[in-house]
Every structure is written in C-alpha cells, then in structure tokens.
Amino acid sequence: MADSVNKRKIMIAMDGSEYSEGALKSNWMPVDPTMVHMAYKEEEEKAKVAIKKLDAILMDAGVQGNVVRAHGIPGEQIIQKSEELGVTMIIIASRGLGKIRRTILGSVSDYVVHHSSVPVIVCRH
C-alpha cells in the first residue's frame, strides 16, 4: 500500500519545438479541399515524427511513460489531460516571449500555472 502512495505521475507538456524538448532533455491560404487535405496529411506526418522522437527521448532517458496526443487549445488540453491521467505534477517549457508578446499572444505555461490543481514546474530554455 505504501508503495502506491509514493508513486507519482508527472506530465511533461511538449509541442515538438526545441523549447519544449529542453524540458525533457507556412504561408498558404486553403482555397481548395485538396490543399487542405495535403496540409492535414503533412501535419499528421509531422506529428508522427514528433511522437517517435519523444518516445526515443523517453527511452534513452530510461523514463517509463507514454506520449499522449491532444487536439485543441494547448493550455486547456494540458489541464484536461492532466486531470484525466491523474498526474501529480506538470513540467512545461517557457518560450520566453517577453512581457509584451506574452501579454498579446498569451502564454500556455502561464495558463497551466494558473489553472492546474497540481504543482507546475516551468523550465526556461
């Protein structure tokens, strides 16, 4: 019983960017459905490559875990998935946009810090 009490589930929120990797270690207008389909397939391929890369990072680090993919508004999805998975901590990277850009664009890490019911560690690159 004590063993299960000491186990922790930690979420590391990743977007495939060099900034998010640090936490763990196109201009076109869709006019025609074919272009939309091609763009979707391209994004799917990028996601598959990112998932393989993140799986490899976990394996190389000897970390037991799963890469979970979500669609939607990033901050909201991180909070929702952390609740669904019952994590005890979230680790997320900060891109360091600066105060003005962060104020205008918003910050996923700020959102997660303010909406999470578990501790959050924000890593700077």
Give me the residue spans of the domains in the chain. 2-124
CATH of domain 2-124: 3.40.50.620
CB 89 within 8 A of CB 10: yes
**pTM for the whole structure:** 0.67
Alpha-carbon distances, residue 109 vs 15, 36, 84, 117 (angstroms): 12, 30, 19, 14
Which residues of the chain form beta strands (DSSP E)? Answer: 10-13, 89-94, 120-124
pLDDT (tens place) for every residue of the chain, 125 residues total: 445 556 777 777 777 677 666 666 634 344 666 776 787 888 889 999 999 999 999 999 998 988 999 988 999 999 999 999 999 999 998 876 677 766 665 688 889 999 999 999 998 76
**Residue 49: what pLDDT?**
93
| H or E element in which residue 84 lies | helix 74-85
CB 94, CB 19: distance < 8 Å: yes
- 8-state DSSP, 72: S
